[in-house]
């Protein structure tokens, strides 16, 4: 496929995708954000990582009853305590839900690189200050991967990558103010 044809296809896909998002916002969905559920091996460690190192706020918890998890197909029928964390406030806030299985021994996916496994591989969090994010990570004892933060070529934007306690990638994208 030629570069021109590829660009044209990408442009049409972008327009089509934008059209779907606009029409979906107008009628079908209550909010334009999604919540992401993360199964973790140690709920306390993960809560500490996402609140202290990344900056989420705890916004409550709820319990999914055994019959609900079984009947919906979420699990074989275990009660699951789910802790909610948000960035921001209100309906537009990003929310993650952390949960730990009491019955099943959950398996790790290959987290060597973001491309090592199929499926959801990382979270991207946009920060106002890379310097402040680095200070928060250091205070929480979280190490930045490789040589990060890495400057994105042709921009004044830095990419900082860390891993949560289960090895999941978390990208922090913000201004290159860390020098």
Q: What's the CA gap between 169 and 134, in Å, rounded? A: 16
Q: What is the pLDDT of residue 20?
A: 43
Number of H helices, E strands in the chain: 4, 8
The pLDDT mean for the chain works out to 82
For residue 23, give Cα distances in angstroms to 12, 15, 16, 128, 130. 17, 12, 11, 30, 35
Is pLDDT above 50 for 178?
yes
The 10s digit of each residue's pLDDT in 5-26 is 433 433 333 434 343 444 444 5
- List, in sequence order, every beta strand (DSSP E) within 24-134: 35-39, 57-64, 80-87, 94-99, 122-126
Q: What's the CA gap between 152 and 176, in Å, rounded? A: 9
Q: What is the pLDDT of residue 98?
A: 95
The 10s digit of each residue's pLDDT in 115-158 is 887 778 889 999 999 999 999 999 999 999 998 899 998 999 99
| Percentage with pLDDT > 90 across the chain | 49
Across the range 35-55, mean pLDDT stands at: 94
For residue 33, give Cα distances in angstroms to 24, 50, 95, 127, 148. 12, 19, 8, 18, 29
The 10s digit of each residue's pLDDT in 93-118 is 999 999 988 776 777 888 888 788 77
Q: Which domains does the chain have, with CATH numbers?
A: 31-103 (3.10.180.10), 112-179 (3.10.180.10)
């Amino acid at each position: 496929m030629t570069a021109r044809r590829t660009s044209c296809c990408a442009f049409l896909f972008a327009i089509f995708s934008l059209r779907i998002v606009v029409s979906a916002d107008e009628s079908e969905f209550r909010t334009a954000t999604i919540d992401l559920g993360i199964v973790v091996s140690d709920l306390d460690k993960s809560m500490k990582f996402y609140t202290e190192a990344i900056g989420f706020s705890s916004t409550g918890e709820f319990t999914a009853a055994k019959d609900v998890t079984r009947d919906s197909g979420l699990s074989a029928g275990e009660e699951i305590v789910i802790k909610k964390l948000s960035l921001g406030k209100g309906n537009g806030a990003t929310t993650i839900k952390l949960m730990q299985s009491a019955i099943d021994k959950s398996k790790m996916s290959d987290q060597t690189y973001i491309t090592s496994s199929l499926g959801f591989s990382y979270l991207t969090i946009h920060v106002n200050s890379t310097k402040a994010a680095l200070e928060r990570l250091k205070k929480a004892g979280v190490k930045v991967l490789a040589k990060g933060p890495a400057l994105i070529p042709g921009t004044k934007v830095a990419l900082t990558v860390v891993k949560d306690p289960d090895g999941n990638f978390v990208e922090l994208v913000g201004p290159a103010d860390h020098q």
